Amino acid sequence: MYYASNPLQSGTGSNRYFALLLTLGLATAGSAAGQTVPDSLGGLTRVFSRYQRTALPEKLFLHLDRPFYTAGETMWFKVYAVDGTSGRPLPMSKVANVEVLNHKNKPVLQARIELRQATGQGSFTLPPSLASGTYTVRAYTNWMQNFGPEYYFRSSVTVVNTFAASGTAAPDSTKPYTVQFFPEGGNLVQGLPGKVGFQATNANGKGVAVQGQVLTQTGAVVATFKTLRFGLGSFSFTPEAGNTYTAVVTPANGKPGRYQLPPIYAQGYAMRLERPASGPLTVTVRATTSQSETVYLLGHAGQNIAVATQATLRNGAATFTVEPSQLPDGISHFTLFNADRKPLCERLYFQPPRNQLTVSAQPDKPYYALREQVALNLATTSGPGQPLGANLSVAVYRLDSLSSPRPTDINSYLWLSADLKGQVESPEYYFTTTGPEAAEAADNLMLTQGWSRFRWEQVLAPTPPPLPYLPELRGPLVQARLTQPGTDIPRPGVTAYLASPSRLIRLTNAVSNADGLVQFEADAVPGTRELVIQTDPRQDSTAQIQLLSSFSGRYAPTLPPVFRAQPSLEGAYTKRHFQTQVQTIFAPKETLRSAPAPSDSLAFYGKPSESYFLDKYTRFKVLEEVMREYVPGVIVRIRKDGFHFLVTDKVNNAILSENPLVLLDGVPVFSVNKMMAMDPLKIQKLEVIDSRYFHGSTVYNGIVSYTTYKGDLEGFELDSRALIQQYEGLQAQREFYAPRYDTPQQKQSRLPDMRNLLYWNPSVTTTAAGPQQLQFYTGDQAGRYLVVVQGLAPTGQAGSTHTVLEVKPAL
């Protein structure tokens, strides 16, 4: 007997996946915790730990080669996958979805990127017809779709179509602004001192400097405020019964506005978190009740419990103290619960990583000539300065008036932006600036952009919530839905088969669940291919099949800022247009080269029992003669309904009584009559499995597999009920090409070199042995070039650096 295991091909496939995921979760959580929190707080810690193990957080970061492109250029990127708890590389998902969205959150480019050992790489060729605008690049795994689009990686890039006119109006500096108010802990309560964070942003989402006053309905001033950094600030006051409050806000450049503060509650709780210059954090809780009451404080970071304690409210007040050393790096969530385990208040606190990866990038010369070799020495060390190996990516691009000098930073993204709602303006500020003002600015950010990737009712539910999106642990998942014809009524319990016509024989099957959903594990084959999904007519002959998209149809509400080309930059647009067109015309064919994709030629059923290359035999014109003359392991029988195959089970010395699985170029053919009508001269190879074969939850009475010369079915007409559809698989890997000028003849080449991107290398590895040296060449454009290096160590330490190369023309 032959077996082929696939966790998605049996009714317990999801359970097997979650068992493996649970193992991953236990391993990562255990390594990250650093301490064991006892099961306390009325069972809260136990319930939360259970949720953490089943909802393992995963994060992606994309290092984009540059922030500005012209239509027709290539966008290169490197994908880093990390454990959201520890920050370590997480080799769980094997596929990342990467998309480019326009200003309406509609995808214009999409790709599925293979991940190996928690990293991957890819590229997009921006169509020459792509409109000018600010685009969002987002990335996520199938598993991350369980937790909402706000959790996906997002970064804005600018694309200018230099064929279109660029003289549109410049942005108006007096454009409208919006102010939002966020009470600390969640609510303002009558008679309880409260702190309120606020955020003032313009139409492009950038912070606006404002100041203002908080007034009662009689005009009395109860608080004044002004922004500190990036349109963020805070103020304190005590709401009183019978009053409503209005904020009068005045921007530095614009008209004043009036905003209602959030509603005031007559009963409730207020929470205040304070961090003095030295000493522990204090969390003060006040309540309108005067009765004694037990309250619980749970603190977690990355869904890993760091603080679990309780206190008694006396005279409506209680205070918790937390040592900062108890808290992991990044953002900690503090949640207050009552004795009934009902969440009352929540507050975020940020602690910059205490041990970051230090990346050094040293060019060998202070400046370079045109077409000269650059030697760049890279080294990575831990916080204490000890050499530490890391996985890096390197980009070198030209700085001009169109390029941003501050690309998205891996450290600030993984430890800050990824755990906050919306876009964080200048996140690197919170990592590079110290002192009281920086601490206050970080606290304002925590007050205004707090976000949790789960709801407490999910965590506290008696059973973990269902997570419909499985992690792609081995390769791409292909999803389809089976319904009754012409309706949305699901067809559960039906076995469906997925194949792709090819000389590489691959087949998967899956059983539809209660929603009619089937999930197949596909091979990691790059490029576009034709998929065939069908059911066995002997089991089901009416199911309607719909192939589902692998990409998420949900989008974060935050839209990228509106792009407005500026007339003052028309000369820069014209120069970029010239550079892009020269490169397009004169670029060698090597720029389009793709790396060869590895392939496994072994069929899914392994080594066959019998194999026949028909060209080695006398060729018959009827397939029945081929089978009867050359294939002793298959008996041909003719009954009232036509032909039947009976495979000889040599293991048990018996004849299997039912038809085997018949394949043509890997596609199941459920009608032996149709197969026997095939012209045998189109068939090159025949293979047989001469015993029962267990394939997931399905048992085949042997296998008879035919392969044509081209692997394209040779015109064979499949069942009309089969779904045949083009499918975009994993993106084929392209190799970044840059010319070399090693010899005088190469330097004297008359081919112009107007590259804006001098160098891109997504696969740089440093070790503790010493610096790693990279070599590349400058082109024909003088100017300043930015070297950006991003990286991640196996320990979870992230870091980046940038330096500038000077390229000067020959005198």
Q: Of 225, 60, 71, 214, which Cα lies nearest the Cα of 147? A: 60
Q: What integer pLDDT is reported at residue 47 of this predicted model? A: 86
Q: What integer pLDDT is reported at residue 116 of this predicted model? A: 95
| Residue 476 confidence (pLDDT) above 70 | yes
| Residue 602 confidence (pLDDT) above 80 | yes
Q: What integer pLDDT is reported at residue 401 of this predicted model? A: 80
- Among 20-29, 34-43, 531-540, 614-623, name the one with the lowest average pLDDT: 20-29
Fold classified for 610-728: Ferric Hydroxamate Uptake Protein; Chain A, domain 1 (2.170.130)
Give the DSSP H/E element, type plus range, for residue 178: strand 177-183
Q: For the chain, give the percent of residues with pLDDT over 70.
A: 91
Taking a C-beta distance cutoff of 8 angstroms, is the pair 518, 481 a contact?
A: yes
* Rounded Cα distance, 97 and 71, in Å: 22
**pLDDT (tens digit per residue) in 229-247:** 999 999 999 999 888 999 9
Taking a C-beta distance cutoff of 8 angstroms, is the pair 778, 807 a contact?
A: yes
| Residue 507 confidence (pLDDT) above 60 | yes
- What's the mean pLDDT in 770-794? 94
| Residue 26 confidence (pLDDT) above 50 | no
Q: What is the 3-state secondary structure (H, E, C) of 389-458?
A: CEEEEEEEEEECCCCCCCCCCHHHHHHCHHHCCCCCCCCCHHHHCCCHHHHHHHHHHHHHCCCCCCCHHH
| Residue 482 confidence (pLDDT) above 90 | yes
**pLDDT (tens digit per residue) in 414-472:** 999 999 988 899 999 999 898 899 999 999 999 998 777 678 888 888 887 788 899 99
DSSP category for residue 66: -
| Residue 771 confidence (pLDDT) above 70 | yes
Q: What integer pLDDT is reported at residue 21 of this predicted model? A: 53
What pTM was estimated for this model as a whole? 0.90
Q: How far is CA 447 from the centre of its chain?
A: 26
Strands 188-189 and 177-183: unpaired
Question: What is the band of 7 on the pLDDT scale with cuts at 50, 70, 90?
Answer: very low
Q: Of 788, 810, 75, which Cα lies nearest the Cα of 376? A: 788
Residues 6+ apart with CB under 8 A from 434: none
Q: What integer pLDDT is reported at residue 558 of this predicted model? A: 79
- What's the mean pLDDT in 613-641? 94
Q: For residue 144, what are its two tokens? A: 């991350």
DSSP category for residue 368: B
| Residue 207 confidence (pLDDT) above 80 | yes
Q: What integer pLDDT is reported at residue 11 of this predicted model? A: 40
Q: What integer pLDDT is reported at residue 4 of this predicted model? A: 59
Residue 171: how many CB atoms within 10 A of its CB? 15
Instruction: Give the residue extent of every domain in the chain.
Output: 610-728
**pLDDT (tens digit per residue) in 753-763:** 999 999 999 99
**pLDDT (tens digit per residue) in 364-404:** 999 999 999 999 999 999 977 899 999 999 999 999 888 76
Q: For residue 12, what are its two tokens? A: 């317990």
Q: Of 80, 142, 147, 153, which Cα lies nearest the Cα of 303? A: 147
- Among 226-230, 594-598, 698-702, 786-790, name the one with the lowest average pLDDT: 594-598
Q: What integer pLDDT is reported at residue 576 of this predicted model? A: 85
* Rounded Cα distance, 194 and 340, in Å: 24
- What's the mean pLDDT in 194-213? 92
Instruction: Specify the higher pLDDT residue, 653 or 107.
Output: 107
Averaged pLDDT of the chain: 89
Instruction: Specify the higher pLDDT residue, 326 or 11.
Output: 326
- What's the mean pLDDT in 123-133? 93
**pLDDT (tens digit per residue) in 523-554:** 877 788 899 999 999 888 889 999 999 999 99
Q: For residue 593, what are its two tokens? A: 């080269």
Q: What integer pLDDT is reported at residue 593 of this predicted model? A: 58
* Rounded Cα distance, 539 and 536, in Å: 5
Q: What integer pLDDT is reported at residue 231 of this predicted model? A: 95
| Residue 50 confidence (pLDDT) above 90 | no
- Among 69-78, 272-281, 781-790, name the one with the lowest average pLDDT: 272-281
- What's the mean pLDDT in 767-772? 85
* Alpha helices (H) along 634-760: 672-676, 744-747
Q: For the chain, give the percent of residues with pLDDT over 90.
A: 69
Amino acid at the residue 760: W
Taking a C-beta distance cutoff of 8 angstroms, is the pair 482, 725 a contact?
A: no
- What's the mean pLDDT in 53-80? 94
Question: What is the band of 6 on the pLDDT scale with cuts at 50, 70, 90?
Answer: low
Q: Of 803, 763, 773, 810, which Cα lies nearest the Cα of 117? A: 763
Q: What is the CA radius of gyration of the chain?
A: 31
- Among 270-279, 457-466, 732-741, 765-774, name the one with the lowest average pLDDT: 457-466
Q: For residue 508, what are its two tokens? A: 């998967």
Amino acid at the residue 200: A
